[in-house]
Amino acid sequence: MQVAIIGTGKQVAAALGQVDGEPVSAKATPTQQSAKTQDQLAVAQVSREFMGRFVQFINTADPTLATELVSPQAEFFVPGRPDPVIGPTGYLEIIHMMRSGFPDIQWALEETIAEGDKVVARFTMRGTHQGRFFGTPPSGKKITVQALNIYRFCDGKIVEERGQPDLLSMLQQIGAIPT
C-alpha cells in the first residue's frame, strides 16, 4: 500500500525527506521542521493504520469492527442509490449486497492519499460471480475491479464515504453488458 500526503510544495517535499532538493537534515533539525509537516506525517501513519483495520472490516463484515470504525451517523453514498445508507448497519448492508453476488469478494487497499480530515483510497476488488447481482444471474466468472473511495473522518471514525467502483468493468466481466 502506498500513502501520499497532500500539502504545500515544501510540506510535501519535507514529508518525502527533501526541501529545495536537499535532504531535510541539511536544511533543519527535526525540531525545526514545521509542526504542520509533522502533523501530516502523523495523519499519514494514523490513516495507514486505520485503513488497514478498515480493510479487515470490509473483508470480514465484522459488526464489532463496524461499530469501532464507523460513526452511527455516517453517510455512505452508493452509486445507483438516490439516498445514502447510514451508520455501521448501512455499511454492512453494502457489504452484504456485494457478498450476495460475490460471496468470496475481497478488497485489497492499493494506495491512499490523506489531507486534513479526508482519505482517498484506491482498492482492488476480487471475487467470483456466484449470485444474482444487479439483476444478472450467476455466471461463475471471476472479477477484478478497481474502486476509488473518499472518506471523511471525525473523532476517529468514518462519517462519510463516497464510493466509485468501476461498475462498467464489473458488469462487463460478469457478462451483464457487452465489452
pLDDT at residue 49 in the model: 87
pLDDT at residue 32 in the model: 52
DSSP 136: B
Average pLDDT of the segment spanning 87-112: 96
How many angstroms from the chain centroid is the CA of residue 147?
A: 8
pLDDT at residue 6 in the model: 43
**Whole-angstrom Cα distance, residue 171 to residue 9?**
40
pLDDT at residue 172 in the model: 97
The topology (CATH level 3) of 2-173 is Nuclear Transport Factor 2; Chain: A, (3.10.450)
The full DSSP string for 75-110 is EEE-TT-SS-EEHHHHHHHHHHHHHHH-TT-EEEEE
**What is each CA distance from 127 to 1, 142, 144, in whole angstroms?**
20, 6, 7
pLDDT at residue 133 in the model: 95
- Grid cell in block for residue 12: 510535501
Q: What's the pTM?
A: 0.76
pLDDT at residue 23 in the model: 45
Q: Quick check: 4 pLDDT over 50?
A: no
Q: Quick check: 102 pLDDT over 80?
A: yes
Query: pLDDT for 104-158, tens place per residue?
Result: 999 999 999 988 899 999 999 999 999 999 999 999 999 999 999 999 999 999 9
Q: Quick check: 18 pLDDT over 50?
A: no
All structural domains of the chain with their residue ranges: 2-173
Query: pLDDT for 26-60, tens place per residue?
Result: 445 555 556 667 666 666 677 788 999 999 999 99
